[in-house]
Amino acid sequence: MTQGPVRLDVAVGYATPRKGIPAAASFRRWAALAFAGRIREADLAIRIVGEDEGRALNRHYRGKDYATNVLSFPAELPEGLPADVHLPLLGDLVICAPVVAREAAEQGKPLNAHYAHLTVHGVLHLLGWDHEDEKEAEAMEQLEREILAELGITDPYAGEIR
């Protein structure tokens, strides 16, 4: 397994009933694997929300009027910081529990595996990875596969058609 960050602080908040949602320790483990070998120090907040809050956030920040599975909000660092100053604040992830549950059921995936995938996916976005074009998407998806394989989770993209 890849060596993890030197210091990682992941705060997990639940804004929806916790039944069926993984424990905070699971989210921390998944985030640590996504950080491993890529960043040495990080502060991250993960908020698990319901459909209404997920939809409101997606509408406000992305202009899309539906709840999506995961939203990534990179930290905005203050202007004028010297180049050698490093703040560990990475950003926030918002994961919409009803969407995750629905997708896992529709795709025939174990619920925890889907949460793990979306946590890894969101953290990679915070680290600068994206999937705006085919080449970026393939690179990001391959990295996700490798990280999830360390957890014993099969390829989340198997069977998908682009």
Write out the DSSP string of 48-100: EE-HHHHHHHHHHHHS--S--SEEEEE--PPTT--TT----EEEEEEEEHHHH
**Per the domain annotation, does 158 fall within a domain?**
no
Number of structural domains found in the chain: 1
CATH of the domain at 130: 3.40.390.30
CA angle 130, 87, 119 (to 5 degrees): 40
Q: Could you give the percent of the chain with pLDDT greater than 70? A: 88
* pLDDT tens, residue by residue, 133-149: 889 889 999 999 999 99
The domain of 30 spans: 7-76+84-149
- The residue among 44, 49, 48, 50 whose CA lies nearest residue 11 is 44
